[in-house]
């Protein structure tokens, strides 16, 4: 699919799956706790509450800057109703129930086992929230429930967990389609298939030590908001823990501006042949560029190494001056670690440098809605073409040629 402006948030990879929130399902969430959910389609709730307990300083989710930040959802109170129990299997095929984690605070996310856009943001935010609590994080259990009816195997949730460095950090649960549908229904998660596209509600629930639903959050399609969302989660979890432990670090929850094509940016370069370490990747106006965004966890759903190597052919054509130069950017903010990027790229014969978007500002500035994401920018810093998903190099070259000038 090609377009000149970012499309709605999509929930899948090269097959073109997308997410569209369901108003009826989100409204039903509020019925559980008698609260109100005033938005969907990735919009933050306008009725965000202060959370389950008191916070501290800049970490509080009640500040004006946080409330006006469109890239984070401060959560909606669900009261104290008991969270519906379920019994599924984790990424190792081991039976697990929600109730077995009584005594711990639970973060329960509904995530597509093959998602390449919004689910990785949810996953990363869950991990960082737990890390922000330091030793107190041992009192937190991270749970995921598969929200993809076409990928319900233990191998699917294991692959997602492995590629996101989560194998031993959470329990990613799955079961039969009938079992999963029951859980989705109990939590009012909308999951549907439309022309091969899977849509689901990107909900994350906070459940207290007594198994009671406290808040629900909707992940926003904003890379810069991952760390901030993690801080909101950690703050609310802290309010449920004895002594309300302080967070290991805090940042402003004000909106972080993106860095679009008109901004001059110099990204650190990942080690990749033949570029030496310590070099940079420059972006900005002055010359046209084809900018390709990717993350290494795409290896779960595509032959990523072959795709990256195939870009050598485009690089060779561009070096001859016949096409705009190539700039490849790793969305490092969603990676398990910077080391994961270096490890994945090690040994690949790449003829171009790869920049590291460590904050997500570049992705947000370029309107990235999925991985991979291809964007053509002219010399004035205007996006003239975008594409979601991999294409053969010949088709990339043809599209670039058609939209240049």
Q: Which pLDDT score is estimated for 378?
A: 97
- For residue 3, the surrounding DSSP H or E stretch is strand 2-3
- pLDDT at residue 337 in the model: 86
State residue 182's pLDDT score: 98
pLDDT of amino acid 257: 97
pLDDT tens for each residue of 362-399: 999 999 999 999 999 999 999 999 999 999 999 999 99
Identify the pLDDT of residue 391: 97
How far is 83 from 189, CA to CA, in rounded Å?
14
Beta strands in 71-223 (DSSP E): 76-77, 87-89, 95-97, 105-111, 140-146, 171-173, 191-194, 197-200, 203-207, 213-218
pLDDT value for 275: 60
Which residue did the predictor score with more confidence, 276 or 297?
A: 297
Structure confidence by residue, pLDDT tens digits, 323-354: 999 999 999 999 998 889 999 999 899 999 99
The mean per-residue pLDDT over the stretch 6-12 comes to 36
Q: Is the pLDDT of residue 137 over 90?
A: yes
Q: Where, residue-wise, is CATH 3.40.30.10 in the chain?
A: 2-238, 265-403
Q: What is the mean pLDDT of residues 188-193?
A: 90
- Distance separating alpha carbons of residues 44 and 157, to the nearest angstrom: 28
Count the Cβ atoms, other than its own, within 10 Å of residue 6: 17
Q: What is the pLDDT of residues 14-67, one digit of tens each?
A: 333 333 333 334 444 444 433 333 222 333 333 333 333 333 333 455 588 999
Higher pLDDT, 65 or 2: 65
Beta bridge partners of 191: 200
Burial class of 280 by CB neighbour count within 10 A (0 to 12, 13 to 18, 19+): middle
Q: What distance lies between CA 251 and its chain's CA centroid?
A: 19
Candidate CATH numbers 3.40.30.10, 3.30.70.420, 1.20.120.10, 3.40.50.12280; the one for domain 2-238: 3.40.30.10
Quick one: pLDDT at residue 78? Answer: 96
pLDDT at 41: 31
Q: How confident is the prediction for the chain on average, in pLDDT?
A: 86
Residue 174's beta-bridge partner residues? 89
- 265-403: which CATH number, 2.40.30.10, 3.40.50.300, 3.40.50.1970, 3.40.30.10? 3.40.30.10
pLDDT tens for residues 76-134?
999 999 999 999 999 999 999 999 999 999 999 999 999 999 999 999 999 999 999 99
For 103-113, b/e burial (b = at least 16 CB within 10 A) is: ebbbbbbbbbb
């Amino acid at each position: 699919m090609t377009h000149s402006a970012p499309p709605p948030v999509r929930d899948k990879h090269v097959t073109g799956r997308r997410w569209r929130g369901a108003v009826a399902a989100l409204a039903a969430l509020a019925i559980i706790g008698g609260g109100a959910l005033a938005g969907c389609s990735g919009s933050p709730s306008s009725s965000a509450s202060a959370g389950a307990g008191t916070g501290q300083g800049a970490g509080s989710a009640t500040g004006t800057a946080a409330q006006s930040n469109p890239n984070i959802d401060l959560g909606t109170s669900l009261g104290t109703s008991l969270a519906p129990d379920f019994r599924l299997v984790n990424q190792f095929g081991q039976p697990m129930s929600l109730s077995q984690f009584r005594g711990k605070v639970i973060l329960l996310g509904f995530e597509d086992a093959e998602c390449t856009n919004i689910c990785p943001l949810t996953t990363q935010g869950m991990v960082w929230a737990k890390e922000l609590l330091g030793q107190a994080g041992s009192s937190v259990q991270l749970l995921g429930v598969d929200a993809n009816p076409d990928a319900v195997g233990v191998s699917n949730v294991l692959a997602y967990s492995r590629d996101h460095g989560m194998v031993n950090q959470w329990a990613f649960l799955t079961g039969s389609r009938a079992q999963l549908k029951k859980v989705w229904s109990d939590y009012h998660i909308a999951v549907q298939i439309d022309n091969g596209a899977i849509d689901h509600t990107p909900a994350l629930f906070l459940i207290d030590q007594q198994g009671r639903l406290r808040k629900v959050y909707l992940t926003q399609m904003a890379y810069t908001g991952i760390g901030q969302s993690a801080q909101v989660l950690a703050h609310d979890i802290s309010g449920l823990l004895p002594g309300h432990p302080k967070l290991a670090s805090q940042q402003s929850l004000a909106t972080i501006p993106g860095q679009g094509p008109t901004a001059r940016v110099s990204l650190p370069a990942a080690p990749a042949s033949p570029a030496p370490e310590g070099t940079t990747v420059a972006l900005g106006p002055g010359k046209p560029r084809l900018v390709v965004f990717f993350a290494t966890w795409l290896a779960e759903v595509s032959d990523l190494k072959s795709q990256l190597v195939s870009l050598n052919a485009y690089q060779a054509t561009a070096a001859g001056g016949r096409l705009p130069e190539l700039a490849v950017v790793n969305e490092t903010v969603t990676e398990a670690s910077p080391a994961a990027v270096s490890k994945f790229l090690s040994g690949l014969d790449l003829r171009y440098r790869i920049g590291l978007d460590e904050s997500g500002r570049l992705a947000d500035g370029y309107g990235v809605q999925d991985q991979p994401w291809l964007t053509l920018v002219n010399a004035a810093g205007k996006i003239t073409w975008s594409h979601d998903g991999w294409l053969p190099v010949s088709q990339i070259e043809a599209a670039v040629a058609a939209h240049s000038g």
